Amino acid sequence: MSQTPGSPKASEQDERLSALYSNTTAVRAIASAVEGTIGPKGLDTMLVDTQGNVIITNDGVTILNKMEVVHPAAKMLINVASAQQEEIGDGTTTATLLAAALLQEGVAQVERGVPVTRVIEGIQEGVQVALERMQSRARTLEELDGDVLYQVAMVAGREHQDIARLVTESAGLIGYDKLRRSEFRLADSVMAAVGAQSQVFQGAVIDKQRMSPQMPDRVERAQVLIIDDELDAEELDSEALGTEAGFLLYRQYKDQFRANLERLVAAGVTAVFTDRGVSPVAEEVLGEAGVMIVQRVASKDLRKIAEHTGARPVKRTGIAKETTELHKFLGFAELIYEDERMENIRIVGGAGKPMATILIGASTEEVVGERLRIAKDAAASVQAAVRGGVVPGGGAIELWAAREVEKRRETVRGMTGFGVEAVARALRRPMTQIVQNAGFNPLEKVEEANVAQIEQSSDALAIDCEDGSVADMLHSGVYDPTPVKLHALQAAGEVTVAIMRIHTIIRMKDESAQED
């Protein structure tokens, strides 16, 4: 039973739960920063730094990562959102809202007199039930369903039709099997540039230029060498160079290096990509032979080039291989050229695996940045849908899962049931916020959707944000990837439990100050 405010017992409870109240307040403040962005009617947030730089976005993880945050519990929540972004690529706002709702409902049960440990046990059980039931409702995609994937991209891409079309087209070019591979990330294929024409480019694009304007800007039927190292002769330390023998060895290394470069030219190498720098000698020898060199290419881009061309990266010592052996490491591309206006290198028709690059353009840096974030979210969601299927969006599946958790609540004995009840209440939060952002009364509309789901035995009914009517989300094309939903709920449950376990907050010593 709750205590009368101001009574000795109430004051004692407030003191005992001060850490929990402090953490809950911090988490609620973080959630309030992103809750207005969710749903088709969600609005943007303006972020301003001390120099006056501005970012306008409704991307949850961008807002959270750019916020100035001091409170440790708030940082825990932001870390959860970042983990959601890293693992799945979308759903950060949902994860944040669910975490805040779970914590708020859990604290409400504690205030009723339920022991924190019992609430935690109930939350863990309720979350597990919800995850299992939501997983059971996943609609798997046995092949690339362009219509479903387009709708997934539309929802994640905030109804940008051009972005949804490009992402869906890219998925079709890459193929079902590759999209399901855990090491491949479709979102990494998205690039953006001011003034660019938005398009899907069938090949690889790297944000680099050729080493020198004197080198060819276009190479057809290119023999590609990838050096996962610098392109320079072997080095000697300064002490060894101070001796006559060391100096002779240094000259020998230089001569051998030049001979190796000439062997590359004789072997037909016409394009070289390196991880690090390139020596003037290499620039001279290869440049005069008409070889395109692109230096200091990021490791992930080198892997992309290798995969598309079929090249096998070598260290700098690898260029000493005999010609027949060297050919085994070369890749091939029908065309490699530099787009001078966009300042990037494009590789087309590789002999390796097919690849597609999504190029997003806009008129200004600010708009490009936001469109890039939107496109990456859409790409991540499309890939998640291919891997794990889809569920109805609009908060419908969470509302359905809430009733499933309520059924479990009826079978749980003891005070643990209050924690299970907290999960059921929290699962209504996504639809509540979506409806509120659309300008309708959430209490009224969420209950309408709940009654309709019960009457029609459906998990797909939610509120149409245009007119406030109950609508079937699947018929309306509102899909969410199952992995996005599952990971968001699981992450929210984990951070809620972690925060509720904190009994006391103690400021640590500043060890660095003591050392000074």
Q: What pLDDT is attached to residue 506? A: 62
Q: What pLDDT is attached to residue 243? A: 66
Q: CA 168, CA 148: separation in Å to the nearest integer?
A: 9
- Residues 309 and 219 sit within 8 Å (Cβ to Cβ): no
Written as six digits, the tokens of 255 are: 């001569």
Q: What pLDDT is attached to residue 443? A: 93
- Within 341-476, where are the H helices? 365-388, 396-409, 416-426, 429-437, 442-456
Written as six digits, the tokens of 390 are: 């889809």
Written as six digits, the tokens of 321 are: 């291989």
List all residues 6 or more positions away from 446 whose beta carbon is below 8 Å from its beta carbon.
399, 428, 431, 432, 435, 463
Q: Which amino acid is at 116?
A: V
Residues of the chain with pLDDT under 50: 1-2, 7-8, 10, 12
Could you tell me which of 351, 203, 207, 223 has the C-alpha nearest to residue 290? Answer: 223
What one-character-per-residue DSSP string does 115-171 give? Answer: -HHHHHHHHHHHHHHHHHHHHHT-B--SS--HHHHHHHHHHHTTT-HHHHHHHHHHH
Q: CA 305, CA 297: separation in Å to the nearest integer?
A: 10
Q: CA 332, CA 319: separation in Å to the nearest integer?
A: 17
Q: What pLDDT is attached to residue 2? A: 47
pLDDT tens figures, 413-429:
899 999 999 999 999 99
Report the SS3 class of residue 49.
coil
Rounded to 5 degrees, φ, ψ at 481 are -65, 135
> Residue 441: how many CA atoms within 13 Å on its side-chain side?
4
Q: What pLDDT is attached to residue 240? A: 57
Q: What pLDDT is attached to residue 63? A: 81
Q: What pLDDT is attached to residue 246? A: 64
List all residues 6 or more positions away from 112 whose beta carbon is below 8 Å from its beta carbon.
1, 2, 418
Report the SS3 class of residue 318.
helix
pLDDT tens figures, 213-267:
999 999 999 999 999 988 887 765 556 555 666 667 767 878 888 898 998 999 9
Q: What pLDDT is attached to residue 15? A: 56
Burial classification of residue 278, based on how many CB atoms lie within 10 Å of its CB (0-12 exposed, 13-18 middle, 19 or more buried): buried
pLDDT tens figures, 269-316:
999 999 999 999 999 999 999 999 999 999 989 999 999 999 999 998
Q: What pLDDT is attached to residue 313? A: 94
- Residues 159 and 40 sit within 8 Å (Cβ to Cβ): yes
Angle at 70 between CA 64 and CA 71, to 5 degrees: 95
Q: What pLDDT is attached to residue 1? A: 43
What pairs with residue 46 in β-bridges?
56
Q: What pLDDT is attached to residue 82? A: 77
- Residues 45 and 63 sit within 8 Å (Cβ to Cβ): yes
**Centroid of chain to Cα 402:** 27
What pairing do the DSSP bridges indicate for beta strands 292-294 and 331-339? unpaired
